[in-house]
Amino acid sequence: MQKKLIHGVTSSMSALFIHEQVHFIEQNGYQVEVVCNNDPERHYEGLKLKHIPFEREINLYRDVTTLYSLYRYLKQKDPDIILFSTPKAGLLGMVAGYLNGTETRIYAQWGLRLETVTGVKKLILETTEKLTCLLSTHVLVISDSLEEEMVGRKLVNREKVVRIGKGSVNGLDMQRFSPDAVDQDRLTRMKETLDIEPSDFVIGYIGRMTRDKGTNELVEAFTRLSRKYENIKLLLVGDIEEADPIRPENIDIIHTHERIILCSHTTEPEYYYSMMHVFAFPTYREGFGTVSIEAQAMNVPVVGFNSTGVRDTVVHNETGLIVPNNDIKGLEEGLEDMIIHPVKRGQMGQNARKFVEDNYDREVIQRKVLDFYNTLGRIDDTKAGYIKA
C-alpha cells in the first residue's frame, strides 16, 4: 500500500521549486499532494494541488480560518507523512497535523526570518518557531549553519534535526546549469543588447533587491570600485522590492549609473551567470544559498558575506571568498581581489563547478530524500545523524 505524503508551502511560487522532487517521490511509490495558496496565472507542472489561502504576514482571523481548513483537509486525507515548509505554512501545518494525529510531522526550515528583525516581531517569530518545532517530529534543515543558528537560539532540540546530504532544498540540475548547455550565439546577442563588451568585467547578482539581501552594500561597494576600474559593470537581475526597501539614494544609483545594468526577473538565470566574472552574494541571511551554487555550477566564483546559509555554499579561497557580514569595505576588497587576480579567479571557477557536482547534484539529493522517507514509520526510525553527510 502506498504511503500518503502531503507537502505544504505558503506560496505557489515555492511549490514550483519542489515539483521535480515531488514527481520523483511519486515515481517511487508515494502518493503526494502539495498544499499552497493559489495563483490562477501560474502553471504548476502537473502537481496534485490543494489550494489553501496561507498569508505570509500575521492575520489572526484569517490564520484561524486557514488552520481549520487545513485541519479538515488533513482529516479527510489521513496522510502518513506531512512536510510543511516556510514560516506560515510550517506553523499551521504542524498545528493541524498534531491535532489530526498525523504520525510523522516534518517541518522543513528553509530560512530563519527572525535573524534580521527586532522588537515585538522578533519575539512573535521566536515563539511561533519554537511552537512549530515542538509540534513536529522532525525538523529538516537545509544547511549546517542554519542548524547551528536554530539550536544556538534554543528553537529546537538537536536530536530532532535532520539534514539531507550537504543541504539545499532540492539540489541542482547539473545539466541545465552547465556552461556547455548555453547557446553561445544567443549569449552573444544578449550581451550586445545589454551593452556588455568583451573587455568588460562583470560583477553579477540575481535575486530580490532588498535591505536583507545586501543590495545597499553591493551598490556602494560597486560605486567605489567603479571609480578605480573603468571596465567594470554591475549586472543586477531581479526586482527592487518595496518590502524591506533599500535606501532611496541607492535606488537612484541603480537607475542612473551608466555601468549598472538592471534586468527584471528571469526564468533563464544560466544565461546571466554566463555573462558574469564573479557573483556577489552579500545577503544578511539565507536558509541555503541556491543562487550561489547555481553561479558556481556555471564556473563563476562567489564573494559572499559570512552569514547563515551562505558560508555553507562557498569554500573560502577555493570556490570564492567569504567576507565579514554587512561590511562594505570587505565586500569591495573581495570583489577587487577577483578583478586583479584573473588566474586565481579562473581556478576558483573550475573548483566551484567540481564542488557543486560533488555535493549538490539534484539526482543524488532526491535519492537521499527518498531514502529518508523510506525510513519513516519503522521501529528503528531515523534520528538526526542518519541522513547527515
Q: How confident is the model at residue 385 (pLDDT cuts 50, 70, 90)?
A: very low
Residue 262: per-residue pLDDT: 98
Q: Which of 63-67, 206-210, 377-381 has the lowest mean pLDDT?
A: 377-381
3-36 pLDDT, tens digit per residue, is 999 999 887 777 777 888 999 999 999 999 999 8
35: cell is 498544499
Are 316 and 322 in contact by the 8 Å Cβ rule? The answer is yes
Evaluate if pTM is beyond 0.75. Answer: yes
182-213 pLDDT, tens digit per residue, is 999 999 999 999 999 999 999 999 999 999 99
Residue 378: per-residue pLDDT: 52
Residue 28: per-residue pLDDT: 95
Q: Is the dihedral of CA 3, 8, 13, 14 positive or negative?
A: negative
Residue 87: per-residue pLDDT: 82
285-332 pLDDT, tens digit per residue, is 999 999 999 999 999 999 999 999 999 999 999 999 999 999 999 999
Q: Residue for cell digits 539531507? A: 164
Write phi, then psi, for 244 (nearest 5 degrees).
50, 60
Mean pLDDT (the chain, rounded): 92
242: cell is 518595496
Q: In whole angstroms, what is the distance from residue 249 CA to residue 11 CA?
A: 31
The one-letter amino acid at 219: V
Residue 380: per-residue pLDDT: 44
Q: Percent of the chain having pLDDT more than 90?
A: 82
Are 361 and 167 in contact by the 8 Å Cβ rule? The answer is no
Catalogue all structural domains in the chain, each as residue range(s) with its CATH number.
3-171+362-386 (3.40.50.2000), 179-360 (3.40.50.2000)
Write phi, then psi, for 346 (nearest 5 degrees).
-65, -40
Residue 41: per-residue pLDDT: 64
384: pLDDT strictly greater than 60: no
The one-letter amino acid at 148: E
389: pLDDT strictly greater than 60: no
349-369 pLDDT, tens digit per residue, is 999 999 999 999 999 999 999
Residue 40: per-residue pLDDT: 62
42: pLDDT strictly greater than 90: no
Write phi, then psi, for 68 (nearest 5 degrees).
-65, -40
CA nearest to 165, candidates 371, 376, 383: 371
108-120 pLDDT, tens digit per residue, is 999 998 998 899 9
Are 371 and 365 in contact by the 8 Å Cβ rule? The answer is no
Q: Residue for cell digits 522590492? A: 241
Top pLDDT among 88 and 146 is at 146
201-247 pLDDT, tens digit per residue, is 999 999 999 999 999 999 999 999 999 999 999 999 999 999 899 99
Q: In whole angstroms, what is the distance from residue 388 CA to residue 106 CA?
A: 16
**Count of residues making up the chain:** 389
